[in-house]
Amino acid sequence: MSKNVTIIGGGVIGLAWTRKFLEKGWNVHLNDSQDISAFIEKEFNGKVKFFHDLAESVKDADYVQECGPERLPIKQDIFKILAQHAPTHAIFASSSSSIVSSEIAENNPAADRILIGHPFNPANIMPLVEVVPNPKTSKDTVNTAMQIYSELGYEPALIQKEIAGFVANRLQIAFLNECYYLVEQGIIDAADLDKLVLNSLGLRWSTVGPFEGEHLGGGAQGISHLLSGVGSNMNFQLGTPDPTKAHILIEQTEKAYGVGEENWKKRSEKRDQLTEEILKLRRQTK
């Protein structure tokens, strides 16, 4: 596969993608509705070719990363042009943070080559890319997108079913809503809540994810022990969530991270080492 990519949109996200693809040796075309050619020439030392015409910008593309306005009609129009003018093997990814690709791909003959590739801002630093196919997206398209993002240095996460807002933003919104509630009710002030998160959940989740964290919190017996003990008591006190499908959580977590004393010890030591390194770095940069 050749390495020609077109970035649509020269805003913050589009420029971040441009830097990433350039770093990994891709030939980058950048399209924008505004004439920002002089800026692009200076910003990337002539290494990026600017196109005002969308159709012209994608005629040799192997991959397209769309970063246009978050409005469905605009995205649908863009992707129809891609289907008409890009090579038949090209993959079309949208950086959309909320619009599912089945809506973008509606009545589009290239629906099998359309998916979401949603980064987390700042996209040139944060490792996450959410890869969200629509029901018509081919497996080859998904696999190729996952491979490309991995080769760019990202940690792509495959979202197996479409859902509004995808996963990272839904988690963020749910968490922030609880933060807003606690401050609005006078339970804690904003600065102390930030301090609390920075020195607990934020620190923990920078080394392990929620499920691995729960698994380690259960000791050698793992998440099953935690959910049957502390977890069930907290569910009773808070009223939600009610893990009626706890077996699904347990099975998937144990499959991902293993069980047993030695496994728990090894993973706990790694978590603790990473935590200490982060705290050390924070102290150095105060």
In this structure, what DSSP letter does residue 186 have?
T
* Helix/strand/coil for 30: strand
Cα–Cα nearest to 105, from 117, 118, 88, 92: 92
130 catalytic? Reply is yes
Backbone angles phi, psi at 6, to 5 degrees: -115, 125
- CB-based contact 133:154 (threshold 8 Å): no
The amino acid that residue 85 corresponds to is H
What is the rounded distance in angstroms from the CA atom of residue 132 to the CA atom of residue 167? 10
Q: Which of 41, 106, 130, 162 is catalytic?
A: 130
Cα–Cα nearest to 94, from 144, 53, 132: 132
Neighbour tally for 279: CB within 10 Å = 12
What is the rounded distance in angstroms from the CA atom of residue 146 to the CA atom of residue 117? 9
Cα–Cα nearest to 96, from 67, 133, 65, 125: 67
Q: Which helix (H) or strand (E) holds 130?
A: strand 128-133
Residues annotated as catalytic (active site), given as ranges: 130
